[in-house]
Structure 1
Amino acid sequence: MVMRGSGEPEQFGYLLLPSFSLMAFSSAVEPLRAANTIAGKKLYDWTLVSMDGAAVTASNDIDIMPDLSVAIDKRFDYLFVVGGTGAEKIKDPRAINYVRKLSRLGTTIGAVSTAPYLLAHAGLLDNRRCTIHWEYLDGFREDFPHLEITDELYEIDGGIVTCSGGTASIDLLLHMISHSHGHDLATHVSDWFLHKQIREQSEHQRMSLRFRVGVSHPKLLGAIQFMEDNLETPLDREEIAEAVSLSTRQLERLFRKYLNSTPRKYYFGLRMQRARILLRQTSMSVLDVALACGFVSASHFAKCYREFFGHSPRRDRAPES
């Protein structure tokens, strides 16, 4: 990103993919509007783009009318692709060719929420650090094992910017505003939106395990973290207890007291949830998903999956795109 002085406003384009996240999009454009208002002059201008120029429906069923289609030539300083539900299945050659073309012309290409999938299909993330929404991290890593994928809020690597989406888009745009027009303006924009702290890109996306689980017992949290870190090769109850310096009986008591569960049942649930994500978001075979979640055969996995979710793994299979 280049530091600008006074002059023409920076040009932002937003390519909206079908079922894009309205939260991620709004968080990526509203800071620009606020910066213009606070500065008292047009520092930024933006254009909405869709594949065919028709309205695009967001994941919450709100339609947004774009300014132009990808067939119209327009130069941007930055183009952000905004994804959402189902973006992992979008391989539209019009969108892929569009981002490749603008990248060759020197436009900084960004991807918000699940849109890094499109940039990966276009080959723009090769040899770049990138990130994606935490819910898609496992599937993204399975589909693109050669990429350097992080779990940070956003990544800026040369002419490629990726952002996990949601309110992280605000933090990314505040960083960009600060870079182009100074920290004071970025701080005023942050204050404008009651955004009390501009988060650094290195901050992790998800809230701490303590708040996600709703318990604060350190050894129980340690056991759960140990489980989350070992889904592909499940550990037995004794190994988990030993890792957090508990007896198996103490471990059982903690899970019953705080989670109304057992270590085995809780661990099994974590593996099942990961399996569902991989089935829905990747093209991995059922057998590969089974192995990635600690099962030794597809038949045993299918039986367990049906008992847990009430239907077969193939019902959650991501359709071919």
Structure 2
Amino acid sequence: MAQSPTTRRFTFLLLDRFTMLPFAAALDSLRLANKMAGTRLYDWRLIGPQGDFAACSNGSQIRLDGGLGDDIAVTRDEVVIVCGGDDITAQASRPVLAWLRRQARTGAVLGAVCTGAHILARAGLLDGRRATIHWENHDSFSETFPEVQLHRQVFVDDGSRLTAGGGTSSIDMMLHRIGQTHGPDLASQIADQMLHTAIRTGRDHQRLSITTRIGIRHPRLAAVVARIEANLESPVSPSQLAEDAGMSTRQLERLFMRYLNRSPKRYYLEARLGRARQLLLNTDLPLIEIAIACGFSSSSHFSKCYRDRYGTSPYRERGVQKAAAVVALPVRTDTVLALAS
């Protein structure tokens, strides 16, 4: 395939245990752009901290084009995409952060998919900027990086910073970028090839609607659940929830038991503990700060509720998770992928 005189390059930084789907979706968007256009509009290269291979969270390996120490030059016309995944806090090494800061000084566009936004934020490259991250990491990210304007959209384009939440959101981010440069017709052709029937914009939210998630189309129940999810740090009493929803406390209890098989109080507690677990596993916040952020008045009360819910203490759960992170990820020797540009 002939190279276009205006070929643009993407550099993908694959961190250890990166998530395959958002990376593959982003890369294949570029491949299909070249195929649909009949010329090489885009070029790409894969780099990582190790330099030879990058281990994916599913156990596969990707052969890299180079490492951070290989004197790889990035120009101001280039886009660098940080691909994150599991145990992202452990990937914020000094060499990775220093390399990204150097690329920012060149004027290159910096992007991230899945949890890669955590690395950009740790490097100070999202301060005062709009960004997004996978919804599962949203609460822990906002607690750790309050200076970042975090949004719950599928992707966020903040000029020289691009972030996508993960999964198939990488497709939407890349189609947005391709459409800006080469027009919406090419973006639509790529979407058709991917069977991506609806191109989402930067205004679309990541998660399904509450009614879809809980599997119930009951507007008043959905409104109460939304109120609960928005007030995990400062819980609202069941009586106040009922009053604001225009029903009695008894009516609210019957509604929850009928559709969700638990009381409002129990549902609220489980929602708070779910958020606490995300903070516990994805941040280094002290237990007391996690407890307060999830509406518990003391660490002892938090620990008791956590143990009742998950069968282990918060302290032990965090210790087990950290111990697992230092164990080498078993690699499937039959799945070594070489992606040629």
Q: 1:71 aligned to 69, 73, 78, which one? A: 69
1:50 and 1:68 in contact (8 A); partners too:
yes
Question: 1:190 Cα deviation (Å)?
Answer: 0.6
Secondary structure of 2:45's aligned partner = strand
Q: Tell me, which stretches of 5 or more residues in structure 1 are unaligned? A: 1-5
Alpha-carbon separation, structure 2, partners of 1:159 and 1:33: 22
Alpha-carbon separation, structure 1, partners of 2:252 and 2:163: 40
Is 2:18 aligned against 1:20?
yes
Question: 1:319 Cα deviation (Å)?
Answer: 4.0
Q: Identity, % of aligned pairs?
A: 41
Q: Tell me, which stretches of 5 or more residues in structure 2 are unaligned? A: 326-341
Q: TM-score, normalised on structure 1?
A: 0.95
Cα RMSD for the two superposed structures:
1.4
Alpha-carbon separation, structure 1, partners of 2:62 and 2:233: 41
Alpha-carbon separation, structure 2, partners of 1:42 and 1:316: 49
Q: Deviations over 1:155-182 (max 9, x none)?
A: 1223111111110100010011111111
Question: 1:98 Cα deviation (Å)?
Answer: 1.1
Question: 1:293 Cα deviation (Å)?
Answer: 1.0
User: What letter is aligned with 2:247?
Assistant: L
Q: Deviations over 1:3-57 (max 9, x none)?
A: xxx5141111000011101001011110110010111111001100011212111
Question: 1:229 Cα deviation (Å)?
Answer: 1.0
Aligned to 2:338: none
Question: 1:115 Cα deviation (Å)?
Answer: 0.7
User: What letter is aligned with 1:21?
Assistant: T
Secondary structure of 2:16's aligned partner = coil
1:174 and 1:186 in contact (8 A); partners too:
yes
| 1:257-276 equivalences in 2 (<5 Å) | 257-276=258-277
Alpha-carbon separation, structure 1, partners of 2:58 and 2:232: 32
Alpha-carbon separation, structure 2, partners of 1:123 and 1:189: 34
1:88 and 1:114 in contact (8 A); partners too:
no
Question: 1:221 Cα deviation (Å)?
Answer: 0.9
Aligned to 2:109: 108
1:116 and 1:132 in contact (8 A); partners too:
yes
Alpha-carbon separation, structure 1, partners of 2:288 and 2:308: 17
Aligned to 1:127: 128
Alpha-carbon separation, structure 2, partners of 1:17 and 1:246: 51
Give the paired residue count: 316
Alpha-carbon separation, structure 2, partners of 1:126 and 1:233: 27
User: What letter is aligned with 1:42?
Assistant: R
Alpha-carbon separation, structure 1, partners of 2:204 and 2:271: 24
